[in-house]
Amino acid sequence: MKAVCWNGVNDVRVENVPDPRIINPHDCIVKTSLTAICGSDLHLYNGYIPAMMKGDILGHEFMGEVVEVGPEVQNLRIGDRVVVPFPISCGHCFFCQQGFWSSCDNTNPKAGLMEAAYGYSLAGIYGYSHLYGGYQGGQAQYVRVPFADVGPIKVPENLTDKQVLFLSDIFSTGYWAADSCNIHAGDTIAVFGCGPVGQMAIRSAYLLGAEQVIALDRFPERLKMAEEGRAEVINYEGIDVVEQLKEMTGGRGPDACIDAVGMEAHGTGFDGLFDRMEQKVRIETDRPTALRYAIQACRKSGTVVAAGAYGGFIDKFPIGAIFNKALTLKSGQAPVHRYLQPLLGRIERGEIDPSFVITHHLSLDEAPRGYEIFKNKLEGCVKVVMTP
Amino acid sequence: MVSAEPIQGTSHKIIHKLKNERGTSRINVGETERLISIAVGIPMTIFGLNREILNRPVPILLGGSLILRGVTGRSFLYQTLGVSTVEHSPATIAELPDNQGIQVKRAVTINASPEELYRYWRDFKNAPRFMVNVESVQVTGDGRSHWVAKTPLGKTVEWDAEVTQDEPGQLIAWRRTQGPFLAPNSGSVHFQPKRNGRETVVRLEIEFHQFRGPIGTMLGNVFGQIPEQVVRQDLERFKELMEAGEIATTAGQPSGRRI
């Protein structure tokens, strides 16, 4: 089959590899009908997530048709059309049963690596480095899906692939970020970064009852897309973001701030330069420019949600602002399984059509170009989907 | 079958003793650094000894202290500075007194009843399903069993074991009665219900006739017995099997790597 393989920094290639097969009794094989490049795939592409090996198959947003099931799979049959959530979860451990699906105890075959890095091991993730288990990713014609009874959700025929694909990650992640803001009527939510997850977070915040959503970015096409989602937008270049947000919220500040940027923030001011320099000399591995702004801008006793991915260490973390303003900091890989059914319901009822975010539909063979334009925000690229 | 000697009590005593013994002088040099210390220390000492001893005291003293630092894993300088370069270890390791080897301990919480977990573990024929290196176990009756484990070099290690303590739903303890010193010497597994009535804390303790440090690691790499890794993986796999019904793996999946 054809698969998108990581070959080093800024080097992905479409290669011919063996087809996956059933390995464990709860596995199924999905024939991919649509897959996507996620913003977090760019962290792998740019070389900021450790424990990648040449030849690793990328991708954790995918859907398709079940073509083979393991002997102990009960909920799925050959021919079912499914969307697969990006964390691999067993469904039986303490964390899965509490709804913390991305913290599953039992699905990371390289648990020792993760334990050494973070103290405890987390759920495996498709195509997201050996830290997360080294699983084959979804940017391929076929994918082995472990715990087929727990993860994949069947989707009705009347919805298109593009409408439901993003249940796998960005829609669920954006919605989880908004849900983590604990929104009350009248609340203002500030979303830092108008990439795919930011776009989903904007719309999710309104679905959850926010009165005002303010979105920050500097790329016109992304700000325009945010405006189409009813956000008030700020181009952060050359302005005092905190003062601007204060101004727009009657002096109080946003009730919650979502960092939808993560470890590779591209701040254009002094802070951005500072973080780039510190990352270059390895004082920090991640650039928390957006997170710092989110913390500084958030109102007293508000909530900051780190939804963009972080991997290692940051410098000059404003713990004083967090402590003295009594902020709540939430973070994590989204527990996607929790949101699959409710969000499918919202799509079915026409409350949202997540396909709005797609700007490029390529074939799998064009993956190298897809990574290139998504990374460099060329051709107005916001989201790339690919048909194998 | 209940043994006359309370193994649990013994090991507690050992730990207590260790704490007292090691209170002032702990291993504080990481294993890689210890190997480097030895690798640099030996040629430096030889260099010093090649000349007339009294003329070259510096390389001898420096080389000698590097070798000592590497072998013992203890650095006075680090101790004074409060520094340690010992790497993260996936289990609690204690050295047994009188160079008897080491004891490795680790606990895990499993979403199942103590009885269920005890039953599965006590049937030693199940061990190859979750113990990384164990290939087969033959139960020979009367609490005795014969174990075969593989090493990375393709060889196998075999030993006999007997159960020394057996309390259904609570505790199994065993010891090796015959076989090479590289095999586990003795061990115990405890099953303790959590107050929530659903979960069980499983505590595994295994004693190995093996030394900590670079020599132990080198031996371990050869014979496949890095004890703390073995204990971590065995418990992790036991949990996966008991909770999820299978052990997570990627062995056999495709990739773009050329062999």
Confidence of residue B22 (pLDDT cuts 50, 70, 90): very low
Distance CA B259, CA B257 (A): 6
In this model, does residue B8 exceed pLDDT 50? no
**pLDDT at site B55:** 64
Amino acid code (one letter) for A31:
K
- Report the top-level CATH class of A171-331: alpha beta
Helix H or strand E encompassing A63: strand A61-69
Q: Give A268 or A232, the one with higher predicted confidence.
A: A232
Residue among A93, A143, A144, A145 with most chain B CBs within 10 A, to mutate = A93
From residue A30, alpha-carbon distances to A78, A218, A344, A384, B216 in Å are 9, 38, 20, 20, 45
**pLDDT at site A329:** 98
Q: Write the burial class of residue A31 (CB in 10 Å: 0-12 exposed, 13-18 middle, 19+ buried).
A: middle
Inter-chain touch A109–B243, beta carbons under 8 Å: no
Q: How far is A365 from chain B (nearest CA, A)?
A: 15
Q: Give B86 or A184, the one with higher predicted confidence.
A: A184
Residues in B closer than 8 angstroms to A139, CB to CB, are none
Distance CA B189, CA B206 (A): 9
Residues in B closer than 8 angstroms to A94, CB to CB, are 109, 111, 199
In this model, does residue B73 exceed pLDDT 80? no
Q: What is the complex's ipTM, to 2 decimals?
A: 0.92
Residues in B closer than 8 angstroms to A21, CB to CB, are 252
Question: Averaged over A225-246, what is the pLDDT?
Answer: 96
Asked if the A2-169+334-387 domain carries CATH number 3.90.180.10, the reply is yes
Partner B contacted by A133 (CB < 8 A): yes
From residue A171, alpha-carbon distances to A21, A143, A200, A334, B239 in Å are 29, 21, 5, 10, 32
Inter-chain touch A135–B253, beta carbons under 8 Å: yes
Question: Averaged over B134-145, what is the pLDDT?
Answer: 94
**pLDDT at site B85:** 63
In this model, does residue B5 exceed pLDDT 50? no
Inter-chain touch A55–B236, beta carbons under 8 Å: no
Q: Which of A115-119, B124-128, B232-236 has the lowest mean pLDDT?
A: A115-119
Q: Give A92 or B93, the one with higher predicted confidence.
A: A92
Question: Averaged over B49-78, what is the pLDDT?
Answer: 76
DSSP secondary structure of A345-385:
HHHHTTS--GGGG--EEEEGGGHHHHHHHHHHTGGG-S-EE
Question: Averaged over B3-30, what is the pLDDT?
Answer: 42
Q: Give B163 or B99, the one with higher predicted confidence.
A: B163
Interface subset of A 34-53, CB within 8 angstroms of B: 53
DSSP secondary structure of A75-94:
S--TT-EEEE-SEE--SSSH
Q: What is the pTM of this model?
A: 0.85
**Within B51-160, where are the H helices?**
57-72, 76-81, 114-122, 127-130
Q: Which of A48-52, A339-343, B71-75 has the lowest mean pLDDT?
A: B71-75
φ, ψ of residue A254 in degrees (nearest 5): -65, 140
Q: A213-229: per-residue pLDDT in tens?
A: 999 999 999 999 999 99
Residue among A54, A90, A143 with most chain B CBs within 10 A, to mutate = A90
Q: B170-206: per-residue pLDDT in tens?
A: 999 999 998 877 778 899 999 999 998 899 999 999 9
Name the average pLDDT for chain B: 79
Question: Averaged over A99-103, what is the pLDDT?
Answer: 98
Partner B contacted by A173 (CB < 8 A): no
Inter-chain touch A20–B239, beta carbons under 8 Å: no
From residue A182, alpha-carbon distances to A117, A185, B50, B67 in Å are 30, 10, 75, 59
CATH of the domain spanning B88-244? 3.30.530.20
Residues in B closer than 8 angstroms to A91, CB to CB, are 244
Q: Write the burial class of residue B57 (CB in 10 Å: 0-12 exposed, 13-18 middle, 19+ buried).
A: exposed
**pLDDT at site B21:** 33
Rounding to the nearest 10 degrees, give the CA dihedral for residues A17, A22, A34, A82. Answer: 180
Question: For chain A, what are the domain ranges?
Answer: 2-169+334-387, 171-331
Most confident of A110-114, A234-238, A337-341: A337-341
Yes or no: say if B96 and B109 are a contact pair by the CB < 8 Å rule. no
Inter-chain touch B111–A94, beta carbons under 8 Å: yes
Q: How far is B57 from chain A (nearest CA, A)?
A: 40
Question: For chain B, what are the domain ranges?
Answer: 28-81, 88-244
Q: Give A250 or B185, the one with higher predicted confidence.
A: A250
Q: A189-220: per-residue pLDDT in tens?
A: 999 999 999 999 999 999 999 999 999 999 99
Residues in A closer than 8 angstroms to B253, CB to CB, are 20, 23, 135-136, 144
Residue among B240, B258, B259 with most chain A CBs within 10 A, to mutate = B240
